[in-house]
Amino acid sequence: MTKRTLEGTSRKRRRKSGFRARMRT
């Protein structure tokens, strides 16, 4: 996982679906 993914997820705090989509990138 990249720092961007963790930071973006914690910042936006989106649903699990959004988190999974970000993990793919």
Please report the pLDDT score of residue 14 as a whole number.
61
Per-residue pLDDT, 18 = 66
Mind listing the pLDDT tens digit for each residue in 1-25? 566 666 665 565 666 666 666 666 5
Domain that holds residue 17: 1-25
Our count of domains for the chain comes to 1
The secondary structure of residue 4, as a DSSP letter, is H
Print the SS3 string covering 1-25: CCHHHHHHHHHHCCCHHHHHHHHHC
Q: What pLDDT was estimated at residue 1?
A: 52
